[in-house]
Structure 1
Amino acid sequence: MRRGVFALAVWIGTTLPTADARGEVVGRVYLMRGIANVFSYGLDDLADRLGGAGIAAEVHPFGTWPELARAAVAWSRGHDGAPVAVIGHSLGADAALRMAARMTELGVPPSLVITFDPVGTGMVEEAQGRFVNYFQSDNGYGRPLVDGPGFRGKIENHDLSGAPGLDHFNLEKSPDLHAAVLDTLLATLPARPVAAVPLPPVKPRNPHFSRRSLRDTARGRNPPASAGPSASAQAGPMVWGQIRQTRGFE
């Protein structure tokens, strides 16, 4: 993929169906902040945006990844194998790779891992799934992801070097990248179909009434035998007056 502004803009032209059109999104997203839990607050904005699209998302410090791995596996197993996605920035991105490996070890690998500027080796080991990495090779921090021993999956590296206004400390705050992440998640996580709204039952037509029988009744004629005396009594001049107003009968 080409670098710089084109690389950042390439995802923005695609619009996927919204959660309302697709139905309820099935799955859960775990996001992890970077160092000291005081940076990476763009992930909180991203989690809010995902929630607005019907995707369950929660944000945690990067050091909680072992507990999150166990919780994610338990959640998925308790929801018929529903998919899990993991997102992290900086040290949180490194933690996302470890969390993916631990989940794979526990038998429930994540369906999707998205990293913003990982700062470690970037090696993905003993894991499986799809890994999407947004990084800058020229900011002194970001690293591309590479497959290591035991990796079974797919890695996509998007180098945003030269993108104006972006650096290691605000990469995860980019609204354009948030839109790209949302599109990727909507394309990855399944959705329950929207339940059809049942139509009201059709009221059966009274076989004893017809336009002709009502007209005859209003003019003082005997109704057809099938109408019966009760129908004749009920379809009097008041009913005929209403029909004249709406149908134009004389």
Structure 2
Amino acid sequence: MTNDCPIPPRRAVLAGLLLLGACGPTRLAPLAGPAKGRVILLRGLANMFSTGLNTMTAELRQANYDASVHNHVEGRRLVEETVAAVNAGTLPRPLVLIGHSFGADEVLRMGGMLGAATVPVDLVVTFDPTVVGTAPPGPKRVVNFYQERDPLSRRVEPAPGFDGVIENRLVEGESHLSIEKAQRLHVEVLTMIEGIRPAPAPPPVVTPLITAPPPPLARPARLPLPPRPPAGRVRAS
């Protein structure tokens, strides 16, 4: 099976990581062309342990996605910015949310908030969520990577009203602190995103041209009848 979404060169990824660490998400290197989609990534506890998401952000930007990584506490602000971009017509599709640990919890919440704002999320990817175990209505697809080294349940189940697809994928050999750093999972996520096809634009609404019926033909005026000749006289014989 060929890989349609190769990992960018290590040197480019490391350069992206240095930029992420030094400047934060507001000073990312520009993309090479028009963005192929919008990807929001959220780190977990203390905003410092989910370093695998820094790597993934650099990889996604190398693939020309408008990707940025944030603290999980910024979820509500990011939802507001996303809704504003939709209203302005500037949000590139697909829209993808990715999170680890507390960040995984928050991207599930964000998917629900965006769904309530009638902004569907094409894909939500969670790495080992902690306390949020349900997917609310809104996301079209949820892929949850989880591990079983601890007794906590890391699976994601549908909340009432959810009508998308949920996939729980058990990852062997990883812990809560290493799962988002697994390079093989980065390959899977990149391939999933590349496989999302934008929804076709709705066909233009053609309003049929309605013409008023022609006015009825005017009835010609009736011509006056010619005068009747006088009745002839009858002679008596």
- TM > 0.5: yes
Whether 1:182 aligns to 2:190 is yes
Contact 1:137/1:144 (<8 A) preserved: no
TM-score by length of 2: 0.67
Contact 1:117/1:141 (<8 A) preserved: no
Superposed CA RMSD in Å reads 2.3
Structure whose residues are more often helix by fraction: 1
Aligned to 2:3: 15
- Unaligned residue ranges in structure 1 (runs of 5+): 1-12, 191-250
Superposition deviation, residue 26 in structure 1:
2.5
Aligned to 2:141: 130
Q: Deviations over 1:148-180 (max 9, x none)?
A: 1121211011011xx23x110011011111111
Aligned to 2:38: 28
* CA–CA separation in structure 2 for the residues paired with 1:179 and 1:17: 7
* CA–CA separation in structure 1 for the residues paired with 2:166 and 2:175: 22
Aligned pairs, how many?
173
SS at match of 1:169: coil
Aligned pairs for 1:1-250 within 5 A: 13-16=1-4, 26-77=36-87, 78-79=89-90, 82-141=93-152, 143-160=154-171, 163-164=172-173, 166-188=174-196, 190=198
- The structure with the larger Rg is 2
* CA–CA separation in structure 2 for the residues paired with 1:55 and 1:136: 28
CA 1:175 to 1:149, structure 2 compared with 1: closer, same or farther past 3 Å?
A: same
Q: Deviations over 1:168-195 (max 9, x none)?
A: 00110111111111101111154xxxxx
Contact 2:43/2:99 (<8 A) preserved: yes
Contact 2:37/2:92 (<8 A) preserved: no
- Deviating more after overlay: 83-92 vs 139-148: 139-148
TM-score by length of 1: 0.64
Contact 2:82/2:91 (<8 A) preserved: no
SS at match of 1:188: coil
* CA–CA separation in structure 1 for the residues paired with 2:85 and 2:35: 15
Superposition deviation, residue 141 in structure 1:
4.5
Identical aligned residues as a percent: 37
Contact 2:121/2:140 (<8 A) preserved: yes
Aligned to 2:24: none
Aligned to 1:234: none
